[in-house]
């Protein structure tokens, strides 16, 4: 399990029960080595408001609790030591960030302060002292974070290091701080305490380090005495490759690991979109790496290694690289979560226990919320029947699988369905729930998870040109001609535009706000925007379609003042969002039945929120 910031620490950097439970669950799940996330070695090295700290002896007791829990679970545990350098904010530090060179940070748009030589000597000692604390706390080793744009990465790269003293210029000089940190750790921890380094094979930026220079760096770091190399890629300016979405190829860092493995006998860890155990096994079998880091897969399923060992591959809860909970939380300072696993970050808090009284439950709707609620209620011993009006389970997840690079969502949908059936949920397809059906079944509890309906605006003249919803287009129910206008530039609008342009259609995307894809996780949006640009989708922002004329011309208002005409389209796709389908709830109001609503039928949100709310319903009754 490679290091991934969870935001489960207190804002003073101390360990919480939630953090201990989170790591213990993955140790019990069979992960052989757990590298604990980004422990800051200095007050000025903090990169996250709720990140862990190890810059003072006061952190040793909490870290000891964590290592004891991991060891009890059966795993080895390393501490990742980090100094964020320029990759943080004054809001977190209370002062200006520091860096090797005062260069404007491309991701944070903040100008850091250049470190003095005395400060460099201080931080070298801080790494050594932090490693000493880690050893005293029971960690089996430490990993130095020298990748992904943090301070040591900044020192090692010409992209961020423009110093002219002994800590800049040549590669040997740029590696000096990192090697002196290793020497400091040896001074405090002795020669036999394992020290590895996380390093980018390729920084994926202009002026950044490429693989040939990295190979030389590895040789020098190997000779200096590092015990292993954790090979990644990218830096802040190429952050989409740090923890990438499904738009990035599988195992995309392995090619760098393989080249580095040829020049050192030290163990090589590779990671990055290695979700499939068969793929992980193939990398090992081909001797391209020595250890496989399965990061976000460990979030989705802490029991993954145990399930592989037992041959229960169809029981693995899959990571689909959506980034909604694992990366999305970083932008909101909230604890880690997961679309596939609503237990994440709450491992010691949530328990599925037998209900005090068994109830007869009817669940209306077989989307993600309905499936999660039904499964949880059934696991607690209730007799659950789920009714879905269509011929398929999955709701909006069925069509979410259709845009380019989103097919992995099908694996998650298959898992949801399997676990509901395994829990004992009786599933009825092509059977809409009506008041009459409820009277016939006579349940003790009705869970309404009927989801939402696509919004179709009442625009004058809309009947004059063929138009369809994005849902129907993605579902393959309908098609349109070669030149298409997509109205609505949220995530659905962007994805259906990508879907249509991939089919060779000429697409124009209209959005009334200033930007498109604003509801996407930033790293997902980056790749979608690249695809739309490459396929020449015409994006018209600050435009609102307000009229369609008899000749097919669409009249748009720009900032509610100026008008603009768009013409020549064969059809329109409406991607204007969703409205709740609460008709059943209204029909049951005032009846004898106990009714609870969950998901989009109450309030429109993403699937992650719907699933967590559905689990809460299942645990409540």
pLDDT digits (tens, 9 = 90+) for 407-452: 999 999 999 999 999 999 999 999 999 999 999 999 999 999 999 9
Structure-block tokens of residue 227:
């015990």
Model confidence over 166-211: pLDDT tens digits? Answer: 999 999 999 999 999 999 999 999 999 999 999 999 999 999 999 9
Mean pLDDT of 557-564: 72
**pLDDT given for residue 350 in this prediction:** 92
Q: How far apart are CA 227 and CA 192, in angstroms?
A: 10
Q: How far apart are CA 281 and CA 304, in angstroms?
A: 14
| Per-chain mean pLDDT for the chain | 95
**pLDDT given for residue 500 in this prediction:** 98
CA dihedral 425, 431, 437, 443 (to 10 degrees): 10
Residues 6 or more apart whose Cβ sits within 8 Å of residue 197: 143, 144, 146, 178, 221, 226, 228, 229, 230
Judge whether 215 and 259 are in contact, CB under 8 Å. yes
The more confidently predicted of residues 236 and 456 is 456
458-465 CB contacts, 8 Å cutoff, 24+ apart? 459/545, 459/546, 459/547, 459/548, 460/546, 460/547, 460/548, 461/547, 461/548, 461/549, 461/550, 462/548, 462/572, 464/548, 464/549, 464/550, 464/552, 465/548, 465/552, 465/569, 465/571, 465/572
Model confidence over 278-328: pLDDT tens digits? Answer: 999 999 999 999 999 999 999 999 999 999 999 999 999 999 999 999 998
**pLDDT given for residue 226 in this prediction:** 98
Instruction: Provide the β-strand partners of residue 183.
Output: none
Q: Is the pLDDT of residue 101 over 90?
A: yes
Structure-block tokens of residue 439:
């009277």
Q: Does the annotation mark 150 as catalytic?
A: yes
Q: Is the pLDDT of residue 71 over 80?
A: yes
- In the chain, the percentage of residues whose pLDDT exceeds 70 is 100
Model confidence over 469-501: pLDDT tens digits? Answer: 999 999 999 999 999 999 999 999 999 999 999
Query: Residue 420: which of 443, 452, 449, 453 has the closest Cα?
Result: 449
Residue 497 per-residue DSSP state: H
Model confidence over 319-352: pLDDT tens digits? Answer: 999 999 999 888 888 999 999 999 999 998 999 9
> Three-class SS string for 342-365?
CCCCCCCCCCCCCCCCCCEEEEEC
Catalytic residue among 23, 150, 188, 415: 150
CA dihedral 19, 22, 25, 29 (to 10 degrees): -120
Sign of the torsion formed by the C-alpha atoms of 150, 155, 160 and 163: positive
Model confidence over 11-37: pLDDT tens digits? Answer: 999 999 999 999 999 999 999 999 999
Burial annotation 54-93 (CB, 10 A radius, 16+ → b, else e): bbeeebbebbbbbbebbbebebbbbbbbbbbbbbbbeebb
**pLDDT given for residue 560 in this prediction:** 60
Judge whether 326 and 7 are in contact, CB under 8 Å. no
Strands 291-293 and 360-364: unpaired
Q: Is the pLDDT of residue 82 over 80?
A: yes
**pLDDT given for residue 88 in this prediction:** 96
Sheet of strand 562-566: strand arrangement = 543-548, 554-558, 562-566
Residues 6 or more apart whose Cβ sits within 8 Å of residue 343: 350
């Amino acid at each position: 399990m490679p290091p991934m910031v969870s935001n489960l620490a207190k804002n003073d950097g101390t360990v919480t029960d939630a953090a201990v439970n989170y790591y213990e669950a993955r140790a019990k799940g069979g992960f052989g080595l757990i590298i604990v996330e980004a422990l800051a070695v200095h007050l000025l090295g903090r990169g996250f408001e709720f990140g862990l700290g190890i810059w003072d002896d006061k952190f040793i007791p909490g870290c000891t609790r964590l290592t004891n829990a991991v060891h009890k679970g059966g795993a080895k545990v390393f501490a990742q030591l980090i100094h964020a350098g320029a990759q943080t904010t004054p809001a977190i530090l209370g002062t200006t960030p520091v860096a090797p060179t005062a260069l404007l940070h491309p991701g944070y748009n903040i100008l850091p302060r250049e470190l003095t030589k005395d400060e460099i000597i201080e931080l070298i000692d801080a790494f050594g002292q932090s490693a000493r604390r880690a050893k005293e706390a029971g960690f089996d080793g430490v990993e130095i974070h020298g990748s992904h744009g943090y301070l040591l990465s900044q020192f090692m790269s010409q992209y961020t290091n423009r110093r002219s003293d002994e800590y800049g210029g040549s590669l040997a000089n740029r590696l000096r701080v990192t090697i002196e940190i290793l020497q400091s750790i040896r001074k405090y921890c002795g020669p036999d305490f394992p020290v590895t380094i996380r390093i980018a094979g390729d920084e994926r930026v202009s002026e950044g380090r490429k693989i040939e220079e990295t190979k030389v760096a590895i040789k020098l770091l190997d000779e200096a005495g590092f015990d292993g190399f954790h090979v990644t890629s990218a830096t802040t300016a190429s952050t989409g490759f740090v923890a990438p979405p499904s738009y990035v190829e599988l195992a995309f860092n392995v090619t760098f690991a393989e080249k580095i493995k040829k020049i050192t006998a030290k163990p090589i860890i590779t990671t990055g979109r290695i979700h499939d155990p068969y793929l992980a096994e193939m990398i090992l079998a081909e001797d391209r790496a020595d250890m496989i880091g399965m990061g976000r897969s460990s979030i989705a399923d802490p029991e993954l290694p145990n399930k592989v060992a037992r041959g229960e591959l169809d029981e693995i809860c899959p990571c689909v690289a959506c980034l909604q909970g694992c990366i999305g939380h970083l932008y909101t300072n909230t604890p880690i979560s997961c679309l596939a696993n609503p237990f994440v970050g709450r491992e010691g808090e949530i328990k599925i226990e037998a209900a005090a009284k068994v109830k007869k439950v009817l669940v209306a709707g077989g989307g993600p919320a309905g499936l999660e609620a039904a499964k949880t209620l059934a696991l607690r011993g209730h007799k659950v029947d789920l009714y879905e009006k269509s011929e398929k389970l999955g709701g909006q997840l069925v069509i979410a699988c259709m845009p380019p690079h989103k097919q992995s969502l099908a694996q998650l949908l298959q898992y949801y369905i399997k676990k509901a059936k395994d829990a004992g949920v009786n599933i009825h397809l092509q059977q809409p729930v009506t008041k009459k059906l409820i009277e016939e079944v006579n349940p003790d509890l009705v869970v309404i998870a009927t989801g939402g309906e696509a919004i179709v605006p009442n625009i004058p003249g809309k009947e004059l040109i063929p138009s369809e919803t994005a849902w129907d287009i993605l579902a393959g129910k309908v098609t349109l001609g070669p030149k298409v206008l997509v109205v609505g530039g949220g995530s659905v609008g962007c994805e259906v535009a990508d879907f249509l342009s991939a089919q060779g259609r000429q697409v124009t995307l209209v959005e009334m706000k200033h930007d498109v894809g604003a509801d996407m996780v930033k790293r997902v949006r980056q790749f979608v925007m690249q695809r739309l640009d490459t396929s020449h989708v015409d994006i018209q922002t600050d435009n609102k379609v307000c009229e369609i004329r008899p000749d097919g011309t669409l009249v748009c208002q720009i900032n509610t003042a100026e008008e603009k005409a768009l013409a020549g389209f064969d059809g329109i796709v409406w991607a204007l969002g969703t409205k709740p389908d609460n008709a059943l709830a209204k029909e049951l109001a005032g009846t004898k039945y106990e009714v609870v609503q969950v998901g989009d039928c109450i309030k429109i949100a993403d699937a992650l929120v719907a699933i967590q709310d559905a689990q809460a319903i299942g645990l409540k009754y």
